[in-house]
Structure 1
Amino acid sequence: MYQHILIAHDLRDTADMALCRAAQLARQHSARLTLLHVLAAGQSTEQQEKVRQTLDQSLTRYAPPGSELRILAGKPSDVVLQEVQNSGCDLLVLGGHQQRHDLFSGTSLDRIARRCTVPMLLVARNDSTPYQRAIAAIDFSLCACSALGKASRLLPAEAELHAIHVFEPDKGTAKQVAEQLQMQQGLIEQLLHDETQHLPPDSPKISHEVLQGGILRSLQEQIKARRSDLLVLGSHGRSAFSQALLGSLAQHFLHKAPCDVLVVR
């Protein structure tokens, strides 16, 4: 269960889209909702009041009663990260879009994703119905296991959560590769068995599979084939897969998200 959701809103259409998702999750979890806006430098008092009125309208239209509005000044990424700490929230929601913007520019978004101490949800789909089909990329790191658990608690009980481990075999004969694959499958099965013991009884059903090939292509194909509405990623760890997530893989999915993306440290 999530208890306090923080949504960073930059006044764009995608921010209201993210607000709708944050509001849906707040209702699902009976959680508090706080909307944060970071003022642009040099705004006049009149402009600031107009911003407040616009945000109040969005809260009234989309958010549950009692939701809080916070308007602060400063460098956007720093303000967001500091407010995560100060507010005690347990989920940060951002709206994703392709156009460059200070809060969501490449370096700022990557910095927030790397340093955010709570799960970060990037909303890329204009759909605020409860999640139904999620994919979690897993390896043997603690971070990936944490991401699986956080996703299980985020999803409704009737949703499907499909865990995928992408296996790139060492060079060898066909028999040796088959043996490596069998070993990976056994290890993943044991890992998931152990992890599911810690989940609430009303958690969504978790299926899994081990795939051979490149990580990026495998995830792209699975997201498309399963019509997934959420991709779950661990953001760091010690394994080769987790190191890849820190670099090009996480960056790719954060900036070219085919669906909503949940990033967990």
Structure 2
Amino acid sequence: MRHPSLVARMAVVGSILFAFYAVAAVVAMGAFGAPLWLVLVGSVLFVGVQYKVGKWAAVRSVGAEDLPEDRYPEIHRQVESLCEEMGIEKPRLMIARMGVPNAFAVGRKGAGTVVVSEVLIRTLDGDEVEGVLAHELAHIGNRDVVMMVLGQGIASIVAIVAQWAVLLTGDNDIADFFLAIVVGQVVQLFVMLFVFAISRYREYVADSDAAGAIGSGEPLARALEKISRGNERASDSAVDEQVNALCISGQDRGLARLFATHPPIEKRIDRLRN
């Protein structure tokens, strides 16, 4: 699965995120007096550690456990068949109590993990589950999950550096403390705007890939309808904001469309059916 448009968008967003990260490293170097070589080595190591931690944190945040093959043989069979069709290795399969019908993927080709909720398995029919699995496998195959996890991490780092810059250049009073919080939030949101843009586009691409893998967009369209209704009825969700951006269906609460991590589900369903 090669998508030049997605690859180009990820390259542009990745370059922008790297620029933000480089500025944060220079600011940190000036603030703490660290030598350039230490900042460069530390930055590279920190990015690698952050990717590993981000993947681990996403899975842990929903209390995911391995999906037993003896209890869910059909899901394992579907994934094995889809992986062969898509040309990727079978990822680790996990199940979680998210409180809502949802699923997400983390990792990359050869080291991916797909997490599905218990509610999703109970709610969807077999072909609809297959559509969701194909969607998540497409994310792993397209390597866009790596961009999402790193993007969220870089936004957090840049925000922290911005907060420290305010504190170190101010009078260190209570006003500076609250100003640092506000600046950190604004900076993080600004950096995340670029991540949100790629997040919305990658959902359309994964939907298209899933429809191609299973031979039709209808099962995934029905799945999205049921997932949307399930999310609307749910009174409680164990999915936090960072994992929400990785899920097949986002729960964007009260924010403008500019800040949404997912395109409108109605548009996704229309595309799958048309």
Which range, TM-score by smaller chain?
Answer: under 0.3
Structure with the higher helix share, 1 or 2: 2
Q: With structure 1 as the length reference, what TM-score do the two structures score?
A: 0.27
TM-score by length of 2: 0.26
